[in-house]
Amino acid sequence: MDFNETYGRYLAAVNAALAGHPLLQGDAQHTDVLPDAPADGSIPEPLRSAMRYSLLLPGKRLRPVLLLAAYRLLADDWETALPYALGLEMIHTYSLIHDDLPAMDDDALRRGQPTNHLVFGENIAVLAGDGLYSLAFETMLEAALAPGNLYALPTVYEIARRAGVRGMIAGQTLDVKLEGTQPRKDMVHYIQRHKTGDLLTAPMTAGLMLAGADEARLSAGGTYGAKLGHAFQIVDDLLDLRGDATILGKRPGVDEQRGKMTWPAVYGEAASREDAARLVSEAKEALAVFGERAAFLRKLADKTLIRVT
Amino acid sequence: MDFNETYGRYLAAVNAALAGHPLLQGDAQHTDVLPDAPADGSIPEPLRSAMRYSLLLPGKRLRPVLLLAAYRLLADDWETALPYALGLEMIHTYSLIHDDLPAMDDDALRRGQPTNHLVFGENIAVLAGDGLYSLAFETMLEAALAPGNLYALPTVYEIARRAGVRGMIAGQTLDVKLEGTQPRKDMVHYIQRHKTGDLLTAPMTAGLMLAGADEARLSAGGTYGAKLGHAFQIVDDLLDLRGDATILGKRPGVDEQRGKMTWPAVYGEAASREDAARLVSEAKEALAVFGERAAFLRKLADKTLIRVT
């Protein structure tokens, strides 16, 4: 198993499928020129361009790659899992678009480029977020409709729940509401577990579920995802503290300016580094049940720390 | 069949199920007091209150009532259809919350009460919309997971597609983008077909699909929904032109002020009245295949016109 080659293969598959999504075809249109009424069954401009713009900005595609890798822990193909991987990336992208809105974090830069609302306007950015959320479900449900996979429906439900009002949106709510308040341990745990953690746990549990995993394997995969997600968010917080815009793809230092309840804000920088390293180590341990097949995911966990060590 | 009694029974069932949704329990909290970290598996405040606020404002519940009635065209119970009816009302409500945002239509009044962002703030209103969208899928998928109904998954997909980027969101995009431009027939047809039409067609097709309808019945129900939805939107446009805030539950006259591409703006008031009446008549004709069982839906179509005649 060559890590870079494997990651590259998953990444290429995800990028090709996102760029090739039948509903998103065509070059981006940033103009306000209005053509004839759009054809039924297509996404009208500028909605299509706005959705495509944010979805195709270069990214690590960590969530879909994780989902494919999780599925591959038990299955021999990965094509079956691709629509769910795409759905997850669409959900992630919708959350970034809404997160960046002026009424939310009011960010100007994302993945190194102007945020959606700066390019397409705030109204279209709201709709592009809603649209990607919908396209995620449309894509996953369409795949689930194909006969043959008993686990497709529970997989979609798992992703919906993790992304939902007890998951990512719950974390996002506290992240927004607690800006500028006194850092509190219980709250930062909650925010990191849900805002980032749930959407990095989902690819593991969903990928395994789709492959027909038993309870023990689902739980082991879920633990890996949650620990990895937590480590990943702490590293992100540390990078925001110290990083430059080139690495981050967004403006650094904003967490502190905004009084965001980050891990370093509660525990300090040194303890945060230690916590991230410990979480990565625990994430890898959780994979024991999968033996050698989990080599890629172990290496992936290690890579999380590289950015801050 | 007593129309008012039947409508009342559906309405009561929908209202009771919405108010009783296990994740939305508790009184509304409009304060900014922060309690302990929320319990995992619950919706954190103020997200829960914001979702509940808009969802429980008194409404006609036209979409869920239609779905229950459509299901009842072929089935003898209606409880099976209830989660999908709730999902549809949640999707409708999320679209209203986002539609009312300052960056969108910037409305202050909805269903006779202050809009979500005026009560909870713009950031929470964005998340409450996202949250209701998610809760719709969580609710429908949870129901679809119960064994026994072969048609549950296609039903969820049908609702997702009608609410999605080729459906409601597509119509919404053009509605927003074309504000203040010269009224055009092709565009107003597109907007009304998708913005309102798709979410009034969905309850018919979804309800029938869940009951196992054949293609002919699905198509007949879809025609009814589309025609009814169109008539409904024309009537809404006419009310906006003439109505008062008490009937509308929102400020009248705003379509014209904003240069919204409405039916009366393109065809004039007199032709609009005629079109609405013709569409209602065509909607009723489409129900022929269902015989006497469709008496309620025929009457419902007639009622659409009462508000403007």
A70 contacts A212 by C-beta, under 8 angstroms: no
Residue A114's DSSP bridge partners are A109
Q: How confident is the model at residue A253 (pLDDT cuts 50, 70, 90)?
A: confident
What is the pLDDT at residue A29?
60
Taking the Cβ of residue B151 and every Cβ of chain A, the question of whether any pair is shorter than 8 Å is answered with no
Q: In terms of C-beta distances under 8 Å and separation of at least 24 residues, what long-range contacts does A9-16 make, across chains too?
A: A10/A61, A10/A64, A10/A65, A10/A68, A10/A69, A10/A78, A11/A60, A11/A61, A11/A65, A13/A68, A13/A78, A13/A82, A14/A61, A14/A64, A14/A65, A14/A68, A14/A82, A14/A85, A14/A86, A14/A89, A15/A56, A15/A61
Question: Shortest CA distance to A153 belongs to which of B162, B43, B93, B148?
Answer: B148
Q: How confident is the model at residue B93 (pLDDT cuts 50, 70, 90)?
A: very high
Sign of the CA dihedral A180, A186, A189, A191?
negative
Phi and psi (nearest 5°) for A293?
Answer: -60, -20
Average pLDDT value for residue range A267-272: 93
Convert the pLDDT of each residue in A26-71 to its tens digit.
Answer: 766 655 556 677 888 899 999 999 999 999 999 999 999 999 999 9
CATH number of B3-20+46-306: 1.10.600.10
Flag whether pLDDT at B265 surpasses 70: yes
Flag whether pLDDT at B300 surpasses 80: yes
Report the share of chain A in percent with pLDDT over 90.
77
Flag whether pLDDT at B77 surpasses 90: yes
Q: Which of A51, A84, A130, A178 to probe by mutation at the B interface, max B CB count within 10 Å?
A: A130
Convert the pLDDT of each residue in A197-206 to its tens digit.
Answer: 999 999 999 9
Convert the pLDDT of each residue in B172-216 to its tens digit.
Answer: 999 999 988 888 899 999 999 999 999 999 999 999 999 999 999
Average pLDDT value for residue range A224-249: 85
Query: In this complex, do A129 and B127 lie within 8 Å of one another by their Cβ atoms?
Result: no
What is the pLDDT at residue B67?
98
- Hey, which bits of chain A come out as E strands? 109-110, 113-114
Query: In this complex, do A178 and B126 lie within 8 Å of one another by their Cβ atoms?
Result: no
Query: Residue B101, SS3?
Result: coil
Query: Residue B109, SS3?
Result: strand
Report the share of chain A in percent with pLDDT over 70.
94
Quote ipTM for the complex.
Answer: 0.94
Question: Shortest CA distance to B44 belongs to which of A27, A185, A177?
Answer: A177
Flag whether pLDDT at B30 surpasses 60: no
What is the pLDDT at residue B147?
85
Q: What is the dihedral of CA B242, B244, B245, B246, to 10 degrees?
A: -140
Average pLDDT value for residue range B66-94: 97
Residue partners of A79: CB distance under 8 A and separation at least 6: none
- Per DSSP bridges, beta strands A113-114 and B109-110 are unpaired
Convert the pLDDT of each residue in A80-134 to its tens digit.
Answer: 999 999 999 999 999 999 999 999 999 999 888 999 999 999 999 999 999 999 9
Residue showing tokens 């959606």: A116
B164 contacts A138 by C-beta, under 8 angstroms: yes
Nearest Cβ partner of A103 from B51, B123, B174? B123
Flag whether pLDDT at B32 surpasses 60: no
Flag whether pLDDT at A79 surpasses 90: yes
Q: Which of A141, A153, A185, A258 to probe by mutation at the B interface, max B CB count within 10 Å?
A: A141
Flag whether pLDDT at B309 surpasses 60: no
Give chain B's mean pLDDT: 92
CATH number of A3-18+43-306: 1.10.600.10
- Encode A123-162: b = buried (16+ Cβ within 10 Å), e = exposed: bbbbbbbbbbbbbbbbbbbebbeeeeeebbbbbbbbbbbb
Taking the Cβ of residue A118 and every Cβ of chain B, the question of whether any pair is shorter than 8 Å is answered with no
| Nearest chain B Cα distance for residue A241, angstroms | 24
| Nearest chain A Cα distance for residue B213, angstroms | 17
Query: In this complex, do B177 and A98 lie within 8 Å of one another by their Cβ atoms?
Result: no
Distance in angstroms (rounded) separating the CA atoms of residues B13 and B68? 10
Residue showing tokens 């007639």: B302
Convert the pLDDT of each residue in A120-171 to its tens digit.
Answer: 999 999 999 999 999 999 999 999 999 888 899 999 999 999 999 999 999 9
Report the share of chain B in percent with pLDDT over 90.
77
Tell me the pTM.
0.95
Compute the radius of gyration of chain B from its Cα atoms.
19
A249 contacts A111 by C-beta, under 8 angstroms: yes
B97 contacts B132 by C-beta, under 8 angstroms: yes
Q: Which residues of chain A lie closer than 8 angstroms to B35, CB-CB?
A: none
Bigger pLDDT: A60 vs A308? A60
Q: How confident is the model at residue A246 (pLDDT cuts 50, 70, 90)?
A: low
Convert the pLDDT of each residue in B119-165 to its tens digit.
Answer: 999 999 999 999 999 999 999 999 999 988 889 999 999 999 999 99
| Nearest chain A Cα distance for residue B297, angstroms | 27
Flag whether pLDDT at A244 surpasses 70: no
What is the pLDDT at residue B6?
96
Structure tokens at A202: 């989902």
